[in-house]
């Protein structure tokens, strides 16, 4: 560890630290200790790493006035290294580092402590990405934290036109993203903030984020949440003051309230009835399908059994048909339509087209035909839209099945 024997004053972040004192060692150890979560130099974990490093910078005075190592002059404009690293080159950061690296200043100490903080916070995979590239972050033989940070960002993020296009496309497709995460508003807001930070880090901005936010929220699954966002959108369109951050905050609060009260994605009474009825109808369909399969199986079994008995019964059936063949022979014109055979009286029935034991006026087929004719005449004089008795009976049976299933469940 480097030591400097200048002012021991620790009253403010500008004071040069004397590492030979116990207080100096304490400050050094606190500033260089590993971050809560180690960094693997992957895009997915970069924003979290930057936020943790930002907190460490604030608590350690790395951005304090007169000892600031995170504000880098770029083409005459000061830019923040952590939030705008994509707008500056390693050469511009190195040029800034050369203004303090050769001097025993608090800036030099801060850059050195930032370096060790980052190194202590790398995973093995993260460290391997910068292995043997010391020249990228060394200034006058001393490791420099801002340059190491820039190197890691170059490894983790590919700053190309394609990357910017992907970020902007993702922001315009927030409605599809919210569906993919089952309308989790907290995850949605984190995703939006990450995309916005990715743009800012590359020196880019978006002018339509608020519009895309509304579009995303309105694709959520909860009807009460959607109505809430619609009211927010109406307020905005009528000139009300709504910012991206205030909308995300309000949406998140509404989401948490609905979750805590058990109202998130709660079905309306009509939807609950529909779900219940659909479930019962599905049960009936399943039972009918099973019954149909059972009947088909029995029918096939009957056919197999019939084939076995067919040969033995064929002769008896033919003999029986020959015995009663006379029943199908009609009387000749002028012959009586009643005769006695084997002490049984038979009558010729025009409805059956055969000799039968019942009298023609007692024939059930004759009565049924007359009844249908009468019904047809009555229907013609009445309501043609009235459902048939068979259809009404079918509906009644279905609802009886549903009610029976409901009682048994």
pLDDT in tens, 334-368: 888 898 888 889 888 888 888 888 888 888 877 77
Q: At what angle do helices 90-97 and 145-156 cross, to 10 degrees?
A: 170
* pLDDT for position 402: 60
Query: Which sign does the torsion angle of CA 102, 103, 108, 109 carry?
Result: positive
Q: pLDDT per residue over 15-59, tens digit each?
A: 788 888 999 899 999 999 999 999 999 988 998 999 999 999 999
pLDDT bin (cut points 50, 70, 90) of residue 199 is: confident
**Is the distance from CB of 108 to CB of 101 less than 8 angstroms?**
yes
24 vs 218: which has the higher pLDDT:
218
pLDDT bin (cut points 50, 70, 90) of residue 163 is: confident
CA gap 29, 27 in Å, rounded: 6
CA gap 186, 183 in Å, rounded: 9
Retrieve residue 332's tokens.
């000749």
CA gap 114, 103 in Å, rounded: 17
Task: Give the β-pairing of 142-143 and 138-139.
Answer: antiparallel
DSSP 273-303: HHHHHHHHHHHHHHHHHHHHHHHHHHHHHHH
pLDDT score of 171 more than 90: yes
Which span out of 280-284, 291-295, 337-341, 372-376 was modeled with the highest average pLDDT?
Answer: 337-341
Retrieve residue 36's tokens.
């809560």
pTM for the full predicted model: 0.51
DSSP 374-398: HHHHHHHHS-TTSPPHHHHHHHHHH
CA gap 120, 143 in Å, rounded: 14
Q: Tell me the HSE value of 92 on the side-chain side, using a 13 A CA sphere.
A: 19
What does the mean pLDDT of the chain come to?
83
| Structural domain spans, the chain | 22-156, 161-260, 269-300, 335-379
CA gap 96, 72 in Å, rounded: 7
CA gap 214, 175 in Å, rounded: 9
Q: What is the mean pLDDT of residues 266-278?
A: 70
pLDDT score of 204 more than 80: yes
* pLDDT for position 381: 47
Residue 166 three-state SS = helix
SS3 content of the chain, % helix, strand, coil (to 5): 60, 5, 30
């Amino acid at each position: 560890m480097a030591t400097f024997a200048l002012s021991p004053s620790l009253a403010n972040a500008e004071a040069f630290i004397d590492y030979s004192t116990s207080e100096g060692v304490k400050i050094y150890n606190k500033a260089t200790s590993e971050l809560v979560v180690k960094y693997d130099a992957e895009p997915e974990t970069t924003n979290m790493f930057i936020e943790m490093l930002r907190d460490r910078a604030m608590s350690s005075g790395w951005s304090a006035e007169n000892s600031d190592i995170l504000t880098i002059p770029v083409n005459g404009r000061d830019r923040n290294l952590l939030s705008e690293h994509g707008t500056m080159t390693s050469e511009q950061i190195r040029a800034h580092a050369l203004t303090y690296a050769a001097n025993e200043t608090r800036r030099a100490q801060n850059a050195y402590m930032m370096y060790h903080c980052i190194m202590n916070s790398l995973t093995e995979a993260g460290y391997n990405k910068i292995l043997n590239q010391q020249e990228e972050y060394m200034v006058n033989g001393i490791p420099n934290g801002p340059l190491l940070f820039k190197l890691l960002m170059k490894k983790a993020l590919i700053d190309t036109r394609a990357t910017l296009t992907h970020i902007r496309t993702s922001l315009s497709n927030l409605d599809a993203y919210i569906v993919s995460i089952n309308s989790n508003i907290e995850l949605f807001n984190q995703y939006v903030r990450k995309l916005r930070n990715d743009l800012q880090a590359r020196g880019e901005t978006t002018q339509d984020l608020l519009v895309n936010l509304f579009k995303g929220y309105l694709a959520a699954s909860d009807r009460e949440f959607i109505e809430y966002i619609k009211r927010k959108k109406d307020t905005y369109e009528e000139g009300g003051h709504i910012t991206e951050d205030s909308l995300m905050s309000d949406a998140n609060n509404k989401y948490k309230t609905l979750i805590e009260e058990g109202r998130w994605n709660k079905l309306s009474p009509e939807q609950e009835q529909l779900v219940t009825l659909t479930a019962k109808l599905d049960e009936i369909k399943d039972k009918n399908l099973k019954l149909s399969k059972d009947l088909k199986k029995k029918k096939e079994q009957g056919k197999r059994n019939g084939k076995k008995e067919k040969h033995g019964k064929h002769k008896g059936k033919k003999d029986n048909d020959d015995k009663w063949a006379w029943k199908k022979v009609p009387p000749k014109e002028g012959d009586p339509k009643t005769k006695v055979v084997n002490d049984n009286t038979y009558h010729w029935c025009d409805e059956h087209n055969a000799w039968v034991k019942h009298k023609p006026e007692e024939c059930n087929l004759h009565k049924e035909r007359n009844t249908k004719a009468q019904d047809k005449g009555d229907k013609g004089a009445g309501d043609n839209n009235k459902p048939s008795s068979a259809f009404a009976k079918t509906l009644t049976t279905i609802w009886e099945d549903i009610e029976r299933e409901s009682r048994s469940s």
